[in-house]
Amino acid sequence: MSEQARHLRDDYRHFHAINTRWHDNDLYGHVNNVTYYSFFDTAVNAYLIQRGGLDIHDGEVVGFVVSSSCDYFASIAFPDAIEVGLRVARLGSSSVQYELAVFRRDEEEACAAGRFVHVFVRRADNRPTPIPDSLRRALEALA
């Protein structure tokens, strides 16, 4: 695990609870690195649906992930209960950069921290489009 800047619970604006699952563990007995990206995607999209009114099935816009990264500090494993902290680092006209961190429930220091960038596009042609007002307001609350 890397020795990097500490990511603390108080640094994040919103939290999404997730229970790890048996199949999240890999042969080494901890949650596999690719699963963290699923945690990030779940936390962000749940927030956008619940707070921003994102319609993932029939809406005119969708968010495409165009960049992502993650740094790992401590292992988690099934049956850990975790929370994904979420904040917005940069909000553009059609894109947003999220910063996320994975915390064991009731712990102050993150086990992992990452970022990813959504570009919002029109569903009809996959071309970038301005972030709709309802989503923008939800994202501004995380900045």
CA dihedral 14, 63, 45, 13 (to 10 degrees): 0
**Cβ burial, residue 68 (10 Å; 0-12/13-18/19+):** middle
Choose the weakest-confidence range: 2-16, 28-42, 54-68. Answer: 2-16
Q: pTM above the 0.85 mark? A: yes
Angstrom distance (rounded) from CA 99 to CA 52: 18
pLDDT digits (tens, 9 = 90+) for 96-128: 999 999 999 999 999 999 999 999 999 999 999
Structural domain spans, the chain = 9-140
Angstrom distance (rounded) from CA 96 to CA 120: 8
Q: Kindly indicate whether the domain formed by 9-140 is annotated with CATH number 3.30.360.10.
A: no
Structure token pair of residue 65 = 């992930």
Cβ atoms < 10 Å from Cβ of 141: 13
Counting residues of the chain whose pLDDT is more than 90, the rounded percentage is 95
